[in-house]
Structure 1
């Protein structure tokens, strides 16, 4: 963990790629279940989600996940909703409501929290976090590293292979509706070397009707995705899509030979030119870009020991008592000897949100994904 930021990724390294936008929303909905006095600073600035998000980042930095500590840690966000997918299909994610009003001013503070830990808040115009994760995963694998993708987004399951595992942390409240236990999905046995308990390892094929990860895009193209407004083919669900892909091998072959399908309704659907066009568009929407020219090189994600004083100054400015104390203990810094960051503290002449956003030029109402899973409890 006491590595330099610029640490070339190589064989044996453990690269964690965190879908940070999903944790923004997890933190927000968890904060809504807590006493309201913990969700705002003394001047009324909403901060509850930032507090819980920061706690999760600290967990990744200090403990990793599943008992494994990373050598490299990338916190990856959605910069805006104006991805290239909107150009392909204007209705993509168009039905999603705007994020909660009290979450919007916390977006730039989330980014500021990531930077306070000495990490990059990674995001890029026109691409979604998933595309950046896909690009980093391919590069890390090519260099012989093991990759752990941390997310609840099923679109990322297409990236799983012997060098890439998918980890969905526990979410919801145990015993209550919506609860989902943690799961580690792999393809192959490489991740057994991480000493993860066998009962927490599942094969990703189990979740896709027995088909391997490379077929996931074809299945999704047929079934569509209501959460992202991906059209797919009407009347074709996951099981039917998997059956068709199993029988014909891949989506292109299926569409070319759709006239051979024995079931009349399926045959009629998949020979309809309008449906074929939507299915092909759907594939472009769900298939991740794996060669983004990333602005933050993979080697710049090397995990370093955070600057305790910087973290404490940030947390004191937001009036986070518990995590301030914990950081002081972890990094040997007396919080009483560190002043709150004056640019972010209550009473600053410049609004704290504007200061946080200006640090790296991101607009204040940055768009984390409002359609991301919203479980009530962080793992």
Structure 2
């Protein structure tokens, strides 16, 4: 068994919305909806059980979005503007999910004005600076830019590990250039448009093959 610390960072928002959409409406006797709480708790329990039977990480945390808006909305007003508000019956479950995380004796972390992705990136950098291994539990492609030696992505829904080869297969570039590809190609999921100058001349799908990446 390795003595190297191994940090697991869970994308809490990903778990919450998967749980909410996967289960039919459920409620407590007082009428409080709990389907997302139930699904989230089951997913977290399964992950904890599975990893402790295998790698047994030394550190574990669930990272949440503190609010819908972040500092990016100050920089670009239309950032994620096309996304609807959280469903009315999901909103009261957010605090219950944080309580459930605490009941599992797992740290639940968030910070005002920042997204969960920002915290995950920060904690990953800090952990790698100490030579810790890091596993990010998420299916969010944006987090693929963090993959590196000692850092992998784990899609627990597909039971799939994503490393350097998988990132290159998806984007056509190394993880450190994923942010450049996304900035140029845009990201419809976040309402970020393609770079106008490039959009007039070529298709976004051709960007990963441009010579600029090979020269960088």
Shared fold, TM over 0.5: yes
The equivalent of 2:160 in structure 1 is 183
Q: 1:144 offset after TM fit, Å?
A: 1.4
Which of these residues, 186, 207, 213, is aligned with residue 170 of structure 2?
207
Asked if 2 retains the 8 angstrom alpha-carbon contact of 1:222 and 1:237, the reply is no
1:104 aligns with 2:91: yes
Quick one: higher RCO (CA 8 Å, sep 6+), 1 or 2? 1
Asked if 1 retains the 8 angstrom alpha-carbon contact of 2:60 and 2:107, the reply is no
1:219 aligns with 2:192: no
Distance 2:100 2:170 in 1: 34
The equivalent of 2:21 in structure 1 is 29
The equivalent of 1:239 in structure 2 is 205
Q: Secondary structure at the match of 1:227?
A: helix
Which of these residues, 62, 71, 81, is aligned with residue 68 of structure 2?
81
Q: 1:55 offset after TM fit, Å?
A: 1.3
Per residue, is there more strand in 1 or in 2?
A: 2
CA displacement 1:211-232 (0-9 Å, x = unmatched): 1001101100111001101122
- TM-score norm. by structure 1 comes to 0.53
Distance 2:189 2:32 in 1: 30
Distance 2:211 2:183 in 1: 11
Unpaired stretches in structure 1, ≥5 consecutive residues? 1-9, 171-180, 188-201, 251-379
Distance 2:51 2:107 in 1: 17
The equivalent of 2:77 in structure 1 is 90
1:14 aligns with 2:19: no
Q: Secondary structure at the match of 1:203?
A: helix
Q: 1:121 offset after TM fit, Å?
A: 1.6
- Within-5 A mapping of 1:1-379: 12-32=4-24, 36=25, 39-64=26-51, 67-170=54-157, 181-187=158-164, 203-209=166-172, 211-234=173-196, 235=199, 237-244=203-210, 246=212, 249-250=215-216
Q: Secondary structure at the match of 1:69?
A: coil
Cα 1:239–1:28 change in 2 (3 A) is same
The equivalent of 1:257 in structure 2 is none
- TM-score norm. by structure 2 comes to 0.90
Unpaired stretches in structure 2, ≥5 consecutive residues? none
Distance 1:153 1:52 in 2: 19
Bigger Rg over Cα = 1
Asked if 1 retains the 8 angstrom alpha-carbon contact of 2:23 and 2:36, the reply is yes
Distance 1:245 1:80 in 2: 40
Q: 1:70 offset after TM fit, Å?
A: 1.4
